[in-house]
Amino acid sequence: MLETAGDEFLWQGRPFRIVAGAMHYFRIHPEQWTDRIEKARLLGLNTIDVYVPWNAHQPRPGEMRFDGILDLPRYLGLIAEAGLKVLFRPGPYICAEWDGGGLPAWLTSDPSIKLRTSDPAYLKAVDEWFDQLIPVIEPFLAHHGGPIIAVQVENEYGAFGDDEQYLRHIVDGYRRRGITELLFTCDQAHSEEMLRNGGLDDVLRTGTFGGKVDTALATLRKIQPTGPLMCAEFWNGWFDHWGGPHHTRDGRSAADDLEKLLAAGGSVSLYMFHGGTNFGFTSGANLKHAYEPTITSYDYDAPLAENGDITRKYELMRAAIAKHVPVPDQPLPAPAPTVGHSGIVLDSAVSLLDVPGTPVESAEPLTMEALGQADGFVIYRTTLPEAGPTVLTVTAYSDRVQVFLDGNPAGLLERSRHERSLPVVASRPGAELTLVVENAGRVNYGPGMLDPKGLLGPVTAGGAELSGWTQTAVPLDDVTGLPFAPAGTRLPIGPTLRRGEFTLDTVADSYLALPGWERGAAWINGFPLGRFAARGPQRTLYVPAPVLKAGVNEIVVLELQASSSDTVDLLPEPDLGIVAD
């Protein structure tokens, strides 16, 4: 068992240093888990840091998923087989640039619940989740001979609140359900207040930071006079928002700071060792002065690239680690092969407005979550009573509204630009108003996590409230059976799903480029590659080799706006965009 003694960790009674790296199973194709774990071992890591996304495992109350990319027991088993240990971080909140920070949509849309506090309604949901999760991972706890040596309580809680009773409830909940392993909290180490508020005096405090190692460790030491010094998230890269620059961190600077941390006797978890991809609609968003959704790639400029390739940063960090703990004396694997295929024609189409769904009628618009849906789109329909020009105001929505009048494009409102009104012209009384409302990702950090999607308030025309709505949820969780029809070479006028086929002789990793396409999402062989947007920074989407087939492959692209092309390309190289200064 892992214990602390004085300023050290002890494993089976002997001094032990945790050299871990974060790697999220839910961001890696399951057929690539073994490869990534092996590369963690070769870096010299002895532990993998594993978050658990509650919202993915429990999309609806009472419904549990542990299959495919969510097969947590299989992932933990593979880590154990590789001889590595696990830092287990089940939240229940995980942040992680993940939709809603891992909190399920049915909680983040309910204004009556105080998230991440000791509000009984929130704790009841947490308890029901842990009642399901903990028996599943129990065999993997160290006291049963499994790899989980320590378990985190909440996540950077001091950056959010100071409800000690809530933290205590999580600790007691772990203990009551049979977790006897070492517990820890993590908080931003440059803030004494966060370190203080986010922890409990009988639970090990750890810090999260990427630089200024000496000050971070000194602050942690001040708040916690004894105990092992640990950086639970050493930020060796960073993430990107749509429309922003691509963030990188110099490998030398990351390796030097890691070296400093290890030289000071610290334990560490690299955030991220391997970032992976926000497949489908899983990426989160930030909300400060404006709403900023996170991109699809979670490459993070981590030591192991999005496609699992070893980078220069990996080599520099491996050399730093080797000075302090044994690193396997084995050659490093060569880069993964890649494949390209230009000019894939998307020659059939279906309008997003024609995707089958169940229309629900109501006087006032219903939110996405009230329709029982978490991701994708809601299509709202009503009529404008009068002909002529008017001001259409959508008083509250998340996150993007495309407006159509009698089926013709009539404008766009974006939450990220704080827009609510636009001029429209109805050509007749009773013109059909259609609003396509997109969920672009739930806020995963800070006070803005109550983040319901869809229409959230009245819609007015010329100041008069519109009523009599029909709304259809369009989750796009399965695009394989949609009613595509031949589109010839007609260019997509959005929002349209386009479909095409391409043939490959050999299967390897690839990168989907969509030059001339504006904004949407893509799937290959039914696998959701994620969202794309012309404004970048990323210009390609990672296509994991196991998604592709030798022979005929099917691609589906959703274009929300309009495209000047009816083809897309598979490229052999990624393009994550222009780097921030």
Radius of gyration of the chain (CA): 25
Residues facing residue 182 across a β-bridge? 150
Of 93-101, 316-324, 448-456, 532-540, the window that binds ligand GLA (rule: CB under 6 A) is 93-101
What CA–CA distance (Å, rounded) separates 274 from 49? 11
Using CB under 6 A, pick the residue from 43, 95, 350, 560 that binds ligand GLA.
95
- The answer to whether residue 97 forms part of the interface with ligand GLA (CB under 6 A) is yes
Torsion of CA 425, 426, 428, 434, to 10 degrees: 160
Of 12-20, 90-98, 111-119, 140-148, the window that binds ligand GLA (rule: CB under 6 A) is 90-98
Supply 231's token pair: 């950086």
Torsion of CA 139, 44, 509, 558, to 10 degrees: 60
Shortest CB 97 distance to ligand GLA, Å:
5
Using CB under 6 A, pick the residue from 208, 267, 382, 553 that binds ligand GLA.
208
Closest residue (Cβ) to ligand GLA?
A: 95
Cβ proximity to ligand GLA: between 40 and 194 the closer is 194
**In this structure, what are the phi and psi dihedrals at residue 174, rounded to the nearest 5 degrees?**
-60, -50
In terms of Cα–Cα distance, which of 149, 24, 152 is closest to 92?
152
Cβ proximity to ligand GLA: between 303 and 454 the closer is 303
Residues 46 and 14 sit within 8 Å (Cβ to Cβ):
no
Shortest CB 304 distance to ligand GLA, Å:
16
Cβ proximity to ligand GLA: between 208 and 471 the closer is 208
Residues 155 and 87 sit within 8 Å (Cβ to Cβ):
no
Of 1-9, 92-100, 111-119, 337-345, the window that binds ligand GLA (rule: CB under 6 A) is 92-100
Using CB under 6 A, pick the residue from 49, 99, 154, 156 that binds ligand GLA.
156
Hey, which residues between 229 and 248 contact ligand GLA (CB under 6 A)? 233, 239
Please give the positions annotated as active site. Answer: 156, 233
- The answer to whether residue 380 forms part of the interface with ligand GLA (CB under 6 A) is no
Shortest CB 273 distance to ligand GLA, Å:
13
- Binding-site size, ligand GLA (CB under 6 A): 9
Residues 487 and 516 sit within 8 Å (Cβ to Cβ):
no
- The answer to whether residue 217 forms part of the interface with ligand GLA (CB under 6 A) is no
Cβ proximity to ligand GLA: between 58 and 208 the closer is 208
What CA–CA distance (Å, rounded) separates 469 from 102? 31
Residues 45 and 21 sit within 8 Å (Cβ to Cβ):
yes
- The answer to whether residue 75 forms part of the interface with ligand GLA (CB under 6 A) is no
What CA–CA distance (Å, rounded) separates 315 from 92? 34
Residues 306 and 32 sit within 8 Å (Cβ to Cβ):
no
Shortest CB 196 distance to ligand GLA, Å:
17
Shortest CB 579 distance to ligand GLA, Å:
17
Supply 305's token pair: 């690239």
Q: Which residues contact 481 (CB under 8 A, 6 or more apart)?
A: none
Shortest CB 419 distance to ligand GLA, Å:
28
Residue type, 209: F
The one-character DSSP state at 310 is B
Shortest CB 239 distance to ligand GLA, Å:
5
Of 94-102, 405-413, 470-478, 563-571, the window that binds ligand GLA (rule: CB under 6 A) is 94-102
- In the numeric block, the tokens 């006079």 are attached to 225
List C-alpha distances in Å: 8 to 14, 16, 17, 153, 217.
10, 7, 8, 20, 14
What CA–CA distance (Å, rounded) separates 117 from 101? 15
Using CB under 6 A, pick the residue from 96, 113, 171, 541 that binds ligand GLA.
96
Shortest CB 122 distance to ligand GLA, Å:
19
- The answer to whether residue 49 forms part of the interface with ligand GLA (CB under 6 A) is no
Cβ proximity to ligand GLA: between 301 and 569 the closer is 301
Cβ proximity to ligand GLA: between 153 and 461 the closer is 153
Cβ proximity to ligand GLA: between 270 and 350 the closer is 270
- Burial (CB count <10 Å: 0-12, 13-18, 19+), residue 540: buried
**In this structure, what are the phi and psi dihedrals at residue 321, rounded to the nearest 5 degrees?**
-65, -40
Cβ proximity to ligand GLA: between 129 and 239 the closer is 239
- The answer to whether residue 278 forms part of the interface with ligand GLA (CB under 6 A) is no
Cβ proximity to ligand GLA: between 16 and 26 the closer is 26
Nearest-5° Cα angle at 518, 516 to 522? 95
**In this structure, what are the phi and psi dihedrals at residue 518, rounded to the nearest 5 degrees?**
-100, -55
What CA–CA distance (Å, rounded) separates 477 from 104? 16
Shortest CB 95 distance to ligand GLA, Å:
3
What CA–CA distance (Å, rounded) separates 139 from 269? 23
What CA–CA distance (Å, rounded) separates 316 from 355? 50
Shortest CB 158 distance to ligand GLA, Å:
11
Of 91-99, 290-298, 308-316, 413-421, the window that binds ligand GLA (rule: CB under 6 A) is 91-99
Using CB under 6 A, pick the residue from 108, 109, 155, 496 that binds ligand GLA.
155
Cβ proximity to ligand GLA: between 185 and 567 the closer is 185
Residues 288 and 241 sit within 8 Å (Cβ to Cβ):
no
Of 70-78, 88-96, 118-126, 507-515, the window that binds ligand GLA (rule: CB under 6 A) is 88-96
The one-character DSSP state at 372 is T
Shortest CB 157 distance to ligand GLA, Å:
10
x/- map, 108-147, ligand GLA, by CB under 6 A = ----------------------------------------
Cβ proximity to ligand GLA: between 96 and 533 the closer is 96
What CA–CA distance (Å, rounded) separates 246 from 306? 14
- The answer to whether residue 479 forms part of the interface with ligand GLA (CB under 6 A) is no
Site residues (vs ligand GLA, CB under 6 A): 94-97, 155-156, 208, 233, 239
